[in-house]
Amino acid sequence: MSKLALVTGATSGIGEAFAERLAADGYDLIIVGRNKDRLEEFTATHPGVKVRTVAADLSTDLGVDTVAEICADEPLAMLVNNAGVAHYMPLAELPADKARELVHVKVVAPTMLTRAAVAGMQERGHGKIINVAGMIAFSGPADKSVMPRRAVYAGSLAHLVAMSQTLSAELEDTGVQVQVLCPGVVATEFHTRQGLDLSAVPRMSAEDVVTAALRGLELGEVVCAPGVEDAGLLDAVFKSDLAAFGGQSPELASRYRAR
């Protein structure tokens, strides 16, 4: 029996690379994107693959609800929450509609789609959820010399990291795996759509990012960072997080007490 995967943002970049790879691995596909023509083009160029296309805008409640209903109703073996927008700019300059779009696509949509899919996966005893974030999720401590500023974008990716880690713990021993995928700069249309020219910056291919994600699942990695050679660096970050979490007390810390 064929496995079924749903991929959002499947018409270009990492999402398209996931769709290509999963099709080659024998999955039936549900591909989601805003561009109906591109969705149909993918189907036309993959005649041997069972593909269902869903034209939906995940920056809207209607789009999220439409895809969430599919996630709840279909026996998904894999959900790839990849859809994204960037809108790199300081918060004070970020138009309200762009801020809302970004939070809807990178926070609301993956949260609600994961919520819709996970109950069925638990009931079936298997499933894989990949939330595509990025290394910018770890850039919060950077000073103002790191440009461009992108507070909402970085915050949305950090949400995906924390949600995926916590959800992975919730689902331990259920047969359902959760991964947050954190690539660096990738050679896709993503940045050019934001008016950013990164052609001079060394970039990883979308295909390599997908290879890392699928191998990371095999390795049991919850946080997959395709470009980080020393995985101990990530372990150190997470150990520090837990040390700070465990170091709290109901007593006011001495540095906050009146002198």
Strand order in the sheet with 27-33: 51-55, 27-33, 3-8, 78-81, 127-132, 176-181, 223-224
Residue 158's SS3 state is helix
What are the two backbone dihedrals, phi and then psi, of residue 249, each rounded to the nearest 5 degrees? Answer: -145, 155
Catalytic residue among 27, 88, 153, 256: 153
Active site residue 153: yes
Indicate the SS3 state at residue 7.
strand
Residue type at position 18: F
CB-based contacts of 59, cutoff 8 Å, min separation 6: 85, 100, 101, 104, 105
Q: ω into residue 75 within 30 of 0, thus cis?
A: no
User: Cα dihedral angle (8, 13, 18, 21), rounded to 10 degrees?
Assistant: 150
Active site residues: 153
